[in-house]
Amino acid sequence: MNIITLTAPAICAGCGKQVPASAQARSYLGGKIYHMPDEEKRLTARTTAPAPQAPQDINYLEQALLAYIEQMQLALANLRERIRTRR
C-alpha cells in the first residue's frame, strides 16, 4: 500500500465515493484507490448516521387522542352549522 496524492479524481474502492484530485489516497496493487482512513470514517459516519427524525415522538395514544379531538372539533363545527341554519 502506498499513500499517493491524486492528480485526478478517483473513485474509492471502499465506499464508492469520489476522492478529489490533489487529495491523499491509499493506493493498492491493481490500481485500487481508497480514501485515507480518517476521511473514510467521516464519510461512512455521515452516510450511516440515522436520518434526522421529524418531531414524531408523539406516541400512539397521543396520536389517537389528537385524531379524536380533531373529529370532535369537526362534529362541533357541523353541529354549530346545523343549529345556525335551523333558525
Q: Which is nearer to Zn ion, 23 or 40 (CB)?
A: 40
At residue 71, φ and ψ (nearest 5 deg) are -65, -40
CB nearer Zn ion, residue 3 or residue 83: 3
14 binds Zn ion (CB under 5 A): yes
15 contributes a contact to Zn ion by CB under 5 A: yes
Task: Please report how close the Cβ of residue 36 comes to Zn ion at its closest, in angstroms.
Answer: 9
Q: What b/e sequence results for 8-43 when a residue is b if at least 16 CB atoms lie within 10 Å of its CB, and e otherwise?
A: eebebbbeeeebeeebebbbeeeeebbbeeebbeeb
Residues in contact with Zn ion, shown as a per-residue x/- string from 22 to 61 under the rule CB under 5 A: -------------x----x---------------------
According to DSSP, the residues that pair with 49 across neighbouring strands are none
